[in-house]
Amino acid sequence: MDIGLFGGSFNPPHVAHQIVAEVVRDQFDLDAVWWIPNDTPPHKDARELAPAEVRLQMTRLAVENHPGFRVENLELERAGISYTVDTVRELQDRHPSTEFALIIGSDSLDQFASWHEPDEIARRVPLIVYKRPGGLDDVAEPRFANRVHYAAAPVMEVSGTEIRARCRRGRTIRYLVPEPVRAVIEEHDLYG
């Protein structure tokens, strides 16, 4: 079984996440993509984050009708700063016969060498990289290059930062997030 691990703050999960996950699942013939919301990402401002339980709820709603997607909440159960290497170790221990790959954006690949224990991550799992606005094109630090595979996902100008900014300005986010996610954002008055 081949599983793509798709981690992030999902603050909120949006249509670009869905499209990337689906394109990667199809292109790399993955059995599933596991979405992994993190508790406290080491590279993000925690003040910008919606509560973890609400982000988990929104992520579940974003994937609920897709048989190839599932939400894995082990980083939220662990709480605190979420390091990818810890998640990969734990999942490989839990599922020793499963082959995992890590799905990241090109902006994350640009910073990958500064992650916590990047060499171990790259040794344990291949990296599937999709292009993000602002990320470098098809460039990986040489020591990781043989572990990187590039996805043919469309580059989308949709981001959580943009969605939160639109909410603060009272602008519509319809069609930028799945409708059930939009309902949660409105219900909890998130990002206003």
Average of pLDDT values for 162-184? 97
CB-based contacts of 108: which residues, under 8 Å, 6+ apart?
129, 132, 135
Residue 61, amino acid: L
Q: Which CATH architecture has domain 2-156?
A: 3-Layer(aba) Sandwich (3.40)
Task: Give percent above pLDDT 90 in the chain.
Answer: 77
pLDDT tens profile 12-67: 999 999 999 999 999 999 999 999 999 877 766 667 899 999 999 999 999 999 99
| pTM > 0.75 | yes
Sketch the domain layout of the chain as residue ranges: 2-156
